[in-house]
Structure 1
Amino acid sequence: MSAQWEKQEGNQGILTIQVDAEEFDRALDQAFKKVVKDVQIPGFRKGKVPRKIFENRFGVESLYQDAVDIVLPDAYSKAVQETGIEPIEQPDVDIEEIEKGKDLIFKATVNVKPEVDLGDYKGLEVEEQSVEVTNEDVDQELENLREQHAELVVKESGTVEEGDTIVLDFEGFINGEAFEGGKAEDHSLEIGSGQFIPGFEEKLIGMSAGEEAEIEITFPEDYHAEHLSGQQAVFEVTIHDIKTKEMPEWDDEFAKDADEEVETLQELKEKKKDELQKQQEQDAENQKRETLIEKASENAEVTIPDAMVESELDRMLQEFEQQLQMQGMTLDMYYQFSGQDKDALKDQMRQDAEKRVKTNLTLEAIYYAENLEVTDEDVDHELSNMASMYGVDVDQLKQMLGGNTDALKEELKTRKSIEFLEEHSTAVESESA
Structure 2
Amino acid sequence: MEVTAKKIDNANVVIEATIAKNDIDGRVDKIAKQAAKQMKIDGFRPGKAPVSVVKKRLGDRLVQDAEAEALREVLNTASKELELDAEKIIGEPAVTKFDRGEEAIEVELKLSLKPEIEIEDISDIVPEVKTPRVTKKEVEERIQELAEAQAPFESIEEDRGLENGDLAVFDFEGFLDGEPFEGGKAENFELRIGSGQFIPGFEEQMVGMKKGEEKSIKVTFPEDYRNKDLAGKEVEFKIKLHDIKAKKDVEIDDELAKKLLGDENGTLEKLEKEVKEQIRSEKMTKLYNDELKPKLVEALVEKFEFDLPESVVSQEVELALRNKVQQMNEEEIAELRENEEKVNELREELRADAAKSVKATFIVDALAKKEGVEVNDQEMMQTIFYEAMSMGQDPQQTLEYYKKQNLLPAIKMAMIEDRLLTKLLNDKNEKSKDKEENTEKEEA
Q: For residue 418 of structure 1, report the CA deviation from its aligned partner.
A: 8.2
Task: Decide which structure has greater helix share.
Answer: 2
Q: Which residue of 1 aligns with 2:340?
A: none
Amino acid aligned to 2:134: V
Matches within 5 A, 1:96-245: 96=99, 107=108, 131-153=132-154, 159-166=161-168, 189-195=191-197, 199-207=201-209, 208=211, 211-216=214-219, 233-236=234-237, 238=239, 243-245=245-247
CA distance in 2, matches of 1:169, 1:17: 80
Q: CA deviation at 1:7?
A: 6.7
Partner of 2:397: none
The separation in 2 between residues aligned to 1:181 and 1:112, in whole angstroms, is 63
Match of 1:307 among 318, 323, 326: 318
- Structure 2 counterpart SS, 1:214: strand
1:277–1:58 distance in 2 versus 1, CA, 3 Å? closer
How far did residue 358 of structure 1 move?
6.3
Give how far 1:273 is off.
1.8
Q: Summarize deviations over 1:353-376 as a string: whole Å, max 9, x none.
A: 9999566334236559xxx54447
- Cα distance, 1:149 vs. partner? 2.1
Give distance in 1, aligned partners of 2:143 and 2:270: 12
Q: Which moved more, 1:250-259 or 1:65-74?
A: 65-74
CA offset digits 1:326-354 (Å, max 9, x no partner) = xxxxxxxxxxxxxxxxx9xxxxxxxxx99
Residue 27 of structure 1 contacts residue 70 of structure 1 at CA under 8 Å; is this kept in 2?
no
Say whether the 8 Å CA contact 1:18–1:105 is kept in structure 2. Answer: yes
Partner of residue 270, structure 1: 273
The alpha-carbon deviation at position 240 of structure 1 amounts to 7.0
Contact between 2:317 and 2:354, CA under 8 Å: does it hold in 1? no
Percentage of identical aligned residues: 20
Shift of 1:205: 1.1
Structure 1 contact 18–103 (Cα < 8 Å) conserved: yes
Distance in 2 between residues matched to 1:257 and 1:293, nearest whole Å: 41
Say whether 1:64 aligns with 2:98: no
Query: What's the offset of the Cα at 1:162?
Result: 0.6
TM (normalized to structure 2)? 0.51
Which residue matches 1:378? 372
Question: What does residue 51 of structure 2 align with?
Answer: 52
Deviation of residue 378 (structure 1)?
0.6
- Give the direction of change, closer, same or farther, for the CA distance of 1:150–1:86 in structure 2 (3 Å limit): farther
Distance 2:29 2:419 in 1: 48
Contact 1:212 1:238 in 2 (8 A): yes
Superposition deviation, residue 137 in structure 1: 0.8
Provide the aligned C-alpha RMSD in A.
Answer: 6.6
Contact 1:150 1:248 in 2 (8 A): yes
Contact 1:217 1:232 in 2 (8 A): yes
- Higher RCO, Cα 8 Å, sep 6+: 1
Deviation at residue 292 of structure 1 after TM alignment: 0.9
Among 234, 248, 252, which residue is 2:254 paired with?
Answer: 252
Taking structure 1 as reference, are residues 161 and 406 closer, same or farther at Cα in structure 2, changes over 3 Å only?
closer
Amino acid at match of 2:133: E
Which amino acid in 1 is paired with 2:319? M
CA distance change for structure 1 residues 281 and 367 in 2, over 3 Å: closer, same or farther? closer
Structure 1 counterpart of 2:358: 361
For 1:188 and 1:310, how far apart are their aligned partners in 2? Answer: 48
Instruction: State the TM-score, normalizing by the size of structure 1.
Output: 0.52
* Secondary structure of residue in 1 paired with 2:163: coil
1-side partners of 2:144 and 2:352: how far apart? Answer: 38
CA distance in 2, matches of 1:169, 1:188: 11
Deviations 1:133-183 (A, max 9, x none): 22221111112212332334567986532112446757596xx599x9996
Q: Partner letter of residue 308 of structure 1? A: L
- AA aligned opposite 2:218: I
Classify 1:189/1:416 alpha carbon distance in 2 versus 1 (closer, same or farther; 3 Å).
same
Consecutive unaligned residues in structure 2, runs of 5 or more: 116-121, 327-332, 334-349, 384-407, 433-444
Gaps of at least 5 residues in structure 1 are 115-120, 317-342, 344-352, 391-403, 428-433
Distance 1:142 1:407, change over 3 A: closer
Q: Distance in 2 between matches of 1:278 and 1:197?
A: 37
- Structure 2 CA distance, aligned partners of 1:181 and 1:296? 59
| Paired positions, count | 348
Greater gyration radius: 2
User: Following TM superposition, by how much is the alpha carbon of 1:50 offset from its aligned partner in structure 2, in angstroms?
Assistant: 0.9
In structure 2, how many angstroms separate the alpha carbons of the residues matched to 1:417 and 1:305?
Answer: 22
CA contact (8 A) 1:126 1:291 kept: no
| Residue number in structure 1 paired with 2:405 | none
Q: What is the letter of the counterpart of residue 307 of structure 1? A: E
Q: Aligned equivalents of 2:15 and 2:192: distance in 1?
A: 62
Deviations 1:214-272 (A, max 9, x none): 2245979xx999x9xxx784453646765543453323222111112452223212221
